């Protein structure tokens, strides 16, 4: 072999070795970044719309790449099953159980502003068990920037429509004039309230008027309370009349009440007839009430009352015998002393006995005969 051929083969060999080393290095670096050589666990979730997610799309947990999507396929009911791999060193972060709100869940997100899709997972609560890969992870609706922007634009569009509907009436000149007049009247009204001296202005600015109004309302409240208590009392009385056994209950609810009312009506008729006879007749009662004899009787009674009043006045003044007995203590003492002396006088006692004995002899007691 010529020296020239040997140098060429050496150069080719060196080139191949360097290329292999560089390729292995790049493969190792890229594989380490994409977790190509790390052991992985496969999970899956169900979506109604994957929004462009495809095999090879990255999978992140809390924003850190931890795997990639391996398969996206349709189910019989139209939903999509998304399978993805996650490196085993972070599977302990995927926690939760069926129905738990604090567990991990997956969301289809956007990678940058270009719209590339990826799968985001949240970290589950540490108190929950690790997620079973045989169970589908809970999937939530996408919340990417483009979807939010689209919803924001839709809200802005609806708001603009509402503003247009609200401002369309102002295009009418008559409506604008009405609004201007209303604003002027409102300004005048508020000016009167602020600078006037009417009742409403005093109510707003004068503390005394406010206190008076509060006092009136307090009295009204007390009156309403009294009225309520009166109504309750009336209701109690009505209940007692309806459920009790008194006279009013018997008159209203007892069958004998009708007869009693009928008897009362007959008695009222008789009294009315008697009063009519007195008014229209010529008897003593008519004469006393309507005739001259009645006037004389009233005059005599009046005179007798005046005389009696005069006599009692005289007695109260101590004039006369009875007045002296009532007012003058000396007359009472003299009468008492006289009675005492009479009781001690033997001659007077003998005369009294004789008088009594003589009366008994003169008028003997009648004999009462008894039937055999």
pLDDT of residue 95: 92
Write down the pLDDT at residue 166.
73
Q: Rounded mean pLDDT of the chain?
A: 77
Residue 341: what pLDDT?
67
Contacting residues for 38 by C-beta, under 8 A, at least 6 apart? 87, 88, 89
Spatial distance between the Cα atoms of 50 and 118, rounded to a whole number of angstroms: 10
Four-residue CA torsion sign, 127, 132, 135, 138: positive
Residue/partner pairs of 18-23 with CB below 8 Å, 24 or more apart: none
Position 280 scores a pLDDT of 76
Counted residue by residue, the chain has a size of: 372
What percent of the chain stands above pLDDT 90?
15
Average of per-residue pLDDT across 173-198: 75
Mean per-residue pLDDT, 62-74? 91
pLDDT for the residue numbered 42: 93
Tens digit of pLDDT for each residue in 305-335? Answer: 888 888 888 777 777 777 666 666 776 677 6
Q: Which letter does DSSP use for residue 95 in this model?
A: B
- In this predicted structure, which of 9-13, 105-109, 112-116, 213-217 has the lowest mean pLDDT? 112-116
pLDDT class for 72, splitting at 50, 70, 90?
very high
In this prediction, residue 29 has a pLDDT band, given cuts at 50, 70 and 90, of low
Cα Dmax for the chain: 213
204: helix, coil or strand? Answer: helix
From residue 78, alpha-carbon distances to 47, 74, 291 in Å are: 10, 6, 119
Most confident of the following: 63-67, 208-212, 345-349, 363-367: 63-67
Q: Is the pLDDT of residue 366 over 60?
A: no
- In the structure, what pLDDT confidence band is assigned to residue 304 with cuts at 50, 70 and 90? confident
CA proximity to 82, closest of 126, 121, 43, 115: 43
Lowest mean pLDDT among 158-162, 198-202, 308-312: 198-202
Ordered alpha helix ranges (H), the chain: 3-33, 145-167, 173-195, 199-205, 207-243, 247-253, 255-280, 284-290, 292-317, 320-327, 329-344, 346-362
Is residue 108 within 8 A of residue 146, CB to CB? The reply is: no
How far is the C-alpha of 91 from the C-alpha of 61, rounded, in Å? 10
Contact between residue 60 and residue 121 where contact means Cβ atoms under 8 Å apart: yes
Grouping H, G, I as helix, E, B as strand and the rest as coil, residue 305 is helix
Distance CA 353, CA 350 (A): 5
> Is pLDDT of 243 > 60?
yes
> Tell me: the pLDDT tens digits for 78-126?
999 999 999 999 999 999 887 778 889 999 888 766 668 899 999 999 8
Cβ contact 73:80 at 8 Å: yes
**Residue 372 confidence (pLDDT):** 43
Q: Residue 59's beta-bridge partner residues?
A: 67, 119
Task: Give the contacts of 66 (CB within 8 A, at least 6 positions apart).
Answer: 35, 59, 60, 86, 87, 90, 121
**pLDDT, mean of residues 269-276:** 82
Q: Following DSSP, what letter does each residue of 119-188 receive, concatenated? A: EEEPPPPTTSPBPPTTSPBPEE----HHHHHHHHHHHHHHHHHHHHHHHGGGGSHHHHHHHHHHHHHHHH
SS3 label, residue 33: helix
Q: Over the Cα atoms of the chain, what is R_g? A: 63
* pLDDT at 32 exceeding the cut of 70: no
Res 343: pLDDT: 61
Measured distance CA(143)–CA(132) in Å, rounded:
26
For the ranges 15-24, 140-149, 167-176, 351-360, the lowest mean pLDDT is seen at 140-149
């Amino acid at each position: 072999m010529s020296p020239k051929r040997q140098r060429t083969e050496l150069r080719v060999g060196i080139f191949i070795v360097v290329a292999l080393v560089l390729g292995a290095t790049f493969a190792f670096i890229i594989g380490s970044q994409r977790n190509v050589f790390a052991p992985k666990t496969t999970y899956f979730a169900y979506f109604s719309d994957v929004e462009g997610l495809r095999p090879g799309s990255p999978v992140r947990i809390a924003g850190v790449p931890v795997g990639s999507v391996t398969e996206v396929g349709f189910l019989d009911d139209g939903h999509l099953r998304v399978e993805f791999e996650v490196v085993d060193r972070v599977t302990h972060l995927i926690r939760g159980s069926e129905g738990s709100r604090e567990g991990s869940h997956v969301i289809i997100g956007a990678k940058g502003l270009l719209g590339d899709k990826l799968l985001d997972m949240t970290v589950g609560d540490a108190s929950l068990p690790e997620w079973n890969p045989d169970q589908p992870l809970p999937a939530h609706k996408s919340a990417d920037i483009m979807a939010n922007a689209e919803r924001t634009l839709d809200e802005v569009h609806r708001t603009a429509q509402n503003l247009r509907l609200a401002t369309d009436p102002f295009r009418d000149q008559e409506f604008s004039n009405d609004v201007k007049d209303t604003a002027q009247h409102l300004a005048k009204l508020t000016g009167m309230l602020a600078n006037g001296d009417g009742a409403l202005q005093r109510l707003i600015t004068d503390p005394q008027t406010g206190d008076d109004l509060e006092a009136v309302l307090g009295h009204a409240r007390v009156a309403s309370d009294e009225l309520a208590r009166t109504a309750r009392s009336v209701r109690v009385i009505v209940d007692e009349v309806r459920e009790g056994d008194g006279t009013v209950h018997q008159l209203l609810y007892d069958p004998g009440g009708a007869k009693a009312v009928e008897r009362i009506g007959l008695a009222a008729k008789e009294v009315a007839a008697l009063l009519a006879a007195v008014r229209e007749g010529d008897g003593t009662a008519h004469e006393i009430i309507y005739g001259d004899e009645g006037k004389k009787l009233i005059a005599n009674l009046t005179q007798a009352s005046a005389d009696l009043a005069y006599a009692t006045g005289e007695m109260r003044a101590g004039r006369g015998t009875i007045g002296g007995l009532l007012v003058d203590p000396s007359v009472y003492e003299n009468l008492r002393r006289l009675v005492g002396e009479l009781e001690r006088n033997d001659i007077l006692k003998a005369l009294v006995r004789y008088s009594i004995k003589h009366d008994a002899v003169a008028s003997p007691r009648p004999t009462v005969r008894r039937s055999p």
